[in-house]
Amino acid sequence: MITKEQFNLWKHGPVTKYFFDYLINKRAFLKSAALEMWLNDPKVLNETLRGQIIELEEITATPWDAIESFYKEREDADTEGAGQ
């Protein structure tokens, strides 16, 4: 498991920033495409595109606490399962 400090070094590193910029730009492109689809046909609701837009936002905004909690829950479940 990494520490919060290691996570922050990674999250604010130049390569990660470049990758996050890409994700943010891709999200903006998908939102633009979704808007264009909606303008052409208001009945169109593309759930896949909507899901991708939300997922990209969540990836770039994931805080350390969410990652730590996820892995702690998995470790706790593994520990409980091993004891049975």
Model pLDDT for residues 2-47, shown as the tens digit of each residue: 899 999 999 999 999 999 999 999 999 999 999 988 888 877 777 8
Angle between helices 64-82 and 4-11 (to 10 degrees): 140
DSSP letter at 12? T
Q: Quick one: pLDDT at residue 38?
A: 86
The total number of structural domains that make up the chain = 1
22 within a domain of the structure (yes/no) = yes
38 within a domain of the structure (yes/no) = yes
Q: Where are the alpha helices (DSSP H) in 2-63?
A: 4-11, 14-40, 47-61
Q: Quick one: pLDDT at residue 26?
A: 95
State which residues form the domain around 60.
4-78
Instruction: Give the separation between CA 76 and CA 24, rounded to whole angstroms.
Output: 34
83 within a domain of the structure (yes/no) = no
84 within a domain of the structure (yes/no) = no
62 within a domain of the structure (yes/no) = yes
Q: Quick one: pLDDT at residue 84?
A: 60
Q: Is the pLDDT of residue 83 over 80?
A: no
What's this model's pTM, rounded to 2 decimal places?
0.67
